[in-house]
Chains A and B, each alone.
Chain A
Amino acid sequence: MSAQGSLLRGVGATLRRELTLLWRRKSDSLNPLLFLLMVSSLFPLGVSPAPDVLALLSPGIIWVVALLACLLSTESMFRSDFDDGALELMLLNPQPLYFHLLVKVLAHWLLTGIPLALLSPFIALLLNLPSEAIAVLVISLALGTAPLVYIGAIGAALTVGLRRGGVLLSLIVLPLYVPVLIFGADAVKRAAEGAPALGQLAILAAFFMLSFALAPLAASGALKISVDA
């Protein structure tokens, strides 16, 4: 078999395995969704139930809560692999680690980021987001959760060797989340005001591509350090 053929086969096997694992551990993928639903529903109670106040705040609220939901799910990304030795097998595999990490994180995004984007229209109704902004909200979350998950993977890879890496993970990852949050929330805000949001979405798309290309490199370096400790 050609080198590309065997690489495709190996990477496909990793993608299938990660999707199976996430599917069998459903609570891990449901957790961010429940978090988004519950925390968003607290805002009308805690801030104000007035529709115009909610409409003003909702782009920011949805984006901040979705961002925290992503952060919540990243900590477990490499935890079980580290504990049961699957990570060592992954690191020593004869194929380039980059592609295996790319699809491993991709599986994570498909089962956390995409469901968050799909759930967001309901949250938008709950928080009285103007209906013309809903399409932009879904697109911005679908594009924006990928960089969130990939950046989270770098932090998770760096902290997986520590028993209590949760706080450190937030400290590493949150500053890197800020640009994604700014452009994501701004896209929705502009759409809610009836202004074009294509520029912001384009920048989110650029983050999306960049994180696909670069984050697996950083994560593979970080995993090697974590396993070495």
Chain B
Amino acid sequence: MNCQPIELTKGKTLNHPLLQVDNFHCERDDRILFRGVSFALDHGEILQVVGHNGCGKTTLLRSLCGLSSYAVGDVHWRGKSLAEAVSDFRREVLFHGHLPGVKALLTPRENLTWFVDVYCLGVGDIEAALAEVGLFGYEDVPCGSLSAGQLRRVALAKLLLSPATLWVLDEPFTAIDVHGIAMLQSLLQHHLAKGGAVLLTSHQAIDVPEVRSLNLEMFK
């Protein structure tokens, strides 16, 4: 079935949306995973990509961020094509993938110090961020001795520190407990209220008002 691109934003004609994706398609191992995927995402909006395992959710997110080249299409960032706006895009988009990106030999504080210096122009309160994700008292413990859920929390502390407008989150709820899920939900709401945007994949229902979903199975 070849779907027509669906228009997911309403009434945004004059201004360019933050992120505009048109006609995204992905072919992998001689199979078409999806084609004709189009959507727009603006300040304060959250879009959840859903679909069964292996339908290309992660590939879509990774390709959008530039980590993969399997999926291609027209991407516009603030009205400019991605090729023109690549440095703005890098600065304003934070990708949080399956892997936490946390070095086991470093402490949470050291891990986040690098992140703040490279991603946030050196500005950020690491202690407050770690306390907020529930790691107060673990600032100087090597990450190798933390549990899987705590490692994910170290990675999630990056969301608090980052100045990025768009968060691209691939299965952010993996391995974290009920309190962690509630904490992340409130983080998402806070980010949206500040005018940020979120694109995420999750099998979990997101308890955020006005979450829209994009079912990749409709684009086979």
The interface of chain A, by Cβ under 8 A from chain B, is 1, 6, 9-10, 12-14, 16-17, 20-21, 24-25, 80, 83-86, 88-89, 91-95, 100, 227-228
Q: Is the pair A14, B69 in contact by a Cβ cutoff of 8 Å?
A: no
With A and B bound together, what is the CA distance between A9 and B122 in angstroms? Answer: 8
Instruction: Indicate which residue in A13, A84, A227 contacts B117 across the interface (CB closer than 8 Å).
Output: A13
Q: Which of B1-32 contact A (CB under 8 A)?
A: none
Chain B nearest CB, measured from A99 CB (Å)? 11
Q: Which residue of A lies closest to B143 (CB)?
A: A84
Count B-side interface residues using an 8 Å CB cutoff. Answer: 30
Q: Is the pair B119, A93 in contact by a Cβ cutoff of 8 Å?
A: yes
Q: Which residue of A lies closest to B88 (CB)?
A: A94
Chain B nearest CB, measured from A77 CB (Å)? 14
Whether, in the assembled complex, B115 has its beta carbon less than 8 Å from a beta carbon of chain A, the answer is yes
Interface contacts beyond A10-B117, A91-B67, A93-B119: sample of 9 additional A-B pairs, CB < 8 Å, sorted by A: A13-B118, A17-B103, A25-B105, A84-B104, A85-B102, A88-B95, A92-B67, A92-B90, A94-B87
Q: Is the pair A80, B115 in contact by a Cβ cutoff of 8 Å?
A: no
The B interface is mostly helix, strand or loop, or mixed, namely loop
Q: Which of B55-83 contact A (CB under 8 A)?
A: 65-70
Q: Is the pair A85, B98 in contact by a Cβ cutoff of 8 Å?
A: yes
Whether, in the assembled complex, B195 has its beta carbon less than 8 Å from a beta carbon of chain A, the answer is no
Chain B nearest CB, measured from A177 CB (Å)? 29
Contacts of B205 in A (CB 8 A): none
Q: Is the pair A85, B99 in contact by a Cβ cutoff of 8 Å?
A: yes
Contacts of A92 in B (CB 8 A): 65-67, 90, 93, 95
Whether, in the assembled complex, B106 has its beta carbon less than 8 Å from a beta carbon of chain A, the answer is yes
Q: Is the pair B122, A6 in contact by a Cβ cutoff of 8 Å?
A: yes
Contacts of B115 in A (CB 8 A): 89
Number of A-B contacts (CB under 8 A): 79
Whether, in the assembled complex, B185 has its beta carbon less than 8 Å from a beta carbon of chain A, the answer is no
Q: Is the pair B90, A93 in contact by a Cβ cutoff of 8 Å?
A: yes
Chain B nearest CB, measured from A111 CB (Å)? 14
Whether, in the assembled complex, B202 has its beta carbon less than 8 Å from a beta carbon of chain A, the answer is no
Q: Is the pair A94, B95 in contact by a Cβ cutoff of 8 Å?
A: no
The A interface is mostly helix, strand or loop, or mixed, namely helix
Given contacts A20-B106, A92-B66, A93-B90, contact A84 B99 (CB under 8 A): yes
Q: Is the pair B105, A88 in contact by a Cβ cutoff of 8 Å?
A: no
Given contacts A17-B106, A17-B110, A94-B90, contact A88 B117 (CB under 8 A): no
15 contacts between A and B (CB under 8 A): A6-B121, A6-B122, A9-B121, A9-B122, A13-B113, A21-B106, A83-B99, A84-B101, A84-B102, A85-B97, A85-B101, A85-B102, A88-B67, A94-B119, A227-B67
Chain A nearest CB, measured from B30 CB (Å)? 16
Contacts of B122 in A (CB 8 A): 1, 6, 9
Contacts of B118 in A (CB 8 A): 10, 13-14, 93-95, 100
Most chain A CB atoms below 10 A, which of B91, B95, B118: B118
With A and B bound together, what is the CA distance between A100 and B99 in angstroms? Answer: 20
Instruction: Indicate which residue in B69, B97, B110 contacts A228 across the interface (CB closer than 8 Å).
Output: B69
